[in-house]
Amino acid sequence: MTGYIVGALGLVAGLAWNDAIKALIEYLFPLAKNTLLAKFIYAILMTFIIGIVASYLIRFFDKKEENK
């Protein structure tokens, strides 16, 4: 049960950061054309980073379970 609560809180924090970064992009690039490109770059970058972190966590927890 605790894992679900922590996951939900992580989702809320992630959505808050997403809104903050989107607002920053719109502030730095007020033109719609530049804003769209910046949002795609942000999405690609975040996908790459989350993929690396997820891969690391999967390996970490798999090794931890093998040692039991």
The secondary structure element, H or E, covering residue 23 is helix 2-28
Note the pLDDT tens digit of each residue in 24-67.
Answer: 888 887 776 667 777 888 889 888 988 898 888 888 878 777 77
Torsion of CA 58, 59, 65, 68, to 10 degrees: -160
Which band of pLDDT confidence, cut at 50, 70 and 90, is reported for residue 4? confident
Full-model pTM:
0.60
* 16 has a pLDDT exceeding 90: yes
Cα Dmax for the chain: 55
Q: Are 39 and 22 in contact (CB under 8 A)?
A: yes
Q: Are 36 and 22 in contact (CB under 8 A)?
A: no
Q: Are 42 and 21 in contact (CB under 8 A)?
A: yes
pLDDT, average across residues 4-25: 87
